[in-house]
Chain A
């Protein structure tokens, strides 16, 4: 008998965006409230795993043609780069800097290089989780 996942797949299409939005919110909220790169990354990979459950591996690879190994390396480069940027200004490694910006639509923002470091963490977490799940999933 051919199974039909129409309910699961339709629900996934709606829920997926909620999870991704929530993970982005958690990621940006990290500085002032609980959250940050690690949970944000886990939530995002949770969303992708939901896609994997509802569809199959090939479809997901078509939707998200990402090499997760490069994603890990890119995340590490972000994190190291934020730290090593300090070397250019001859201050200790990982010294962060921030600035307050008033943007037309977004309003008053304080941009901090720690967010870039967190972006590195985010990418590494998503990459590592997806690599683990995909490698085990593809293994016969």
Chain B
């Protein structure tokens, strides 16, 4: 079936619409949302396999041929990210069943949830720069709703900031697309790439470098890189745990994906400037993130700053532009999506039990909740990249790629950051889980057992992802080869080219 690659976008879209009709019937909503996201996982897995067997999948929407219509492109990278998104969406969904509360569920929570997934999957799959913008907006609109839903004071304050920042960055995105369109005269990503390399025979015109930096600013605002991450610690602090897990795992990663896509497909002609800038900003993000992560005594804040570190590590790999470092980046990107989702969900359980995220007020949780404690411990080790677990291979390849590209100090900082990440996350474990148990508010019983299902599955996935990297490696290598050789992508989209 030629429409196969649109199914991960179409299924949550139809589900979201159906959930509007069922908005007052909570059990029905849960069943619809749950079943459809299982179906979405199955189809995304089949899509990954299809890309593995028969190469890049493209779909010229509404039968208009490649540069003239909207083309959806599923190369290995986007197929893998779509699969990861579907899995994380399903697990955040079942976590929501026991934690989000009726008031939110009756107010279109699941519909907004599904529209967020539509936006993320669409942004990963599209092959058209303006369509990417539209899917960004779909994703952001849904995230505004999820952020503000509930109407607590902190949520209202932080959504004002979040919306303001994103409206500005979206306007910049439109301006950047307008500049690019007036230079190359096309919106199809593969065609843009062809036109840019035609224009920069020998010496790329300065305007293209300017546009490259403008795109870096736009996607950097979405993906929270060094000077542009200022909105994130506050905004991500406000929403409830499953929403935070979705945001932390998916939203910034869409920005990272877009930087990766544009910097490997469009702007690879003046690497000396653009990619140097990218690697500088990536390293600064790592440093800024590390400072935040070790400074705070708040579970959520520590994990939020770890997102910034991870974004820096991934983008450092992208900026080195060797096949090794790109492989490492994709490896690390998928690992980070999984592990951040599980850490936020675990932090959500801790907060549900203790009623606070302040580490000074929590201790001795492992006595009463050993399952929670050990899951958190494994997730923490995976985050830092301890060898058998999932963070290891990605970081190893990124460091290797960094050394190959002779970014010695950058690679050194990536290595050093692992240590401090481990320190920051162990600070949560040692202070929160060890020590003498305290009495917490026992009146409203938290269904810890049920809430643990989702993070435990995520940690199991992370363990298998690390231990079975031999099995995953060919998929990731295929993704990195497409990134390192844009001709493969261009030939798949523009057939006669």
| Residues on A facing B (Cβ under 8 Å) | 69-70, 72-73, 76-77, 80, 84, 86-87, 90-96
Chain A residues within an 8 Å CB radius of B18: 73
Chain B residues within an 8 Å CB radius of A93: 3, 6, 10, 59, 61-62
A88 CB to nearest B CB, Å = 10
Contact yes or no, B17 A73, CB < 8 A? yes
Can you spell out 15 A-B residue pairs with CB atoms less than 8 angstroms apart?
A69-B20, A72-B20, A73-B18, A73-B20, A80-B13, A84-B10, A87-B3, A90-B2, A92-B2, A92-B60, A92-B61, A92-B63, A93-B3, A94-B62, A96-B62
A92 in contact with B59 given A80-B13, A80-B14, A86-B3 (CB within 8 Å): yes
Q: Does B209 contact A (CB under 8 A)?
A: no
From B2, B60, B62, name the one whose CB has the most chain A CB atoms within 10 angstroms: B62
Task: Name B20's contact: one of A70, A84, A92 (CB within 8 Å).
Answer: A70
Q: Does B1 contact A (CB under 8 A)?
A: yes
- Report B1-23 CB contacts with A as 1/0, cut-off 8 Å: 11100100010011001101101
Nearest first, the 4 closest Cβ-Cβ pairs linking A and B are A73-B20, A94-B62, A95-B63, A76-B17
B-side interface mostly: helix
Contact yes or no, B63 A91, CB < 8 A? yes
Chain B residues within an 8 Å CB radius of A87: 1, 3
Contact yes or no, B62 A95, CB < 8 A? yes
Contact yes or no, A70 B21, CB < 8 A? yes
B420 CB to nearest A CB, Å = 47
A94 CB to nearest B CB, Å = 4
A70 to B61, CA, bound (A): 28
B442 CB to nearest A CB, Å = 39
Contact yes or no, A92 B3, CB < 8 A? yes
Contact yes or no, A91 B17, CB < 8 A? no
| Known contacts A73-B20, A86-B62, then 13 further A-B pairs from the complex at CB < 8 Å, ordered by chain A residue | A69-B23, A70-B21, A76-B20, A80-B13, A80-B14, A84-B14, A90-B1, A90-B3, A92-B3, A92-B60, A92-B61, A94-B62, A95-B63
Contact yes or no, A73 B21, CB < 8 A? yes
Chain B residues within an 8 Å CB radius of A76: 17, 20
A80 to B61, CA, bound (A): 13
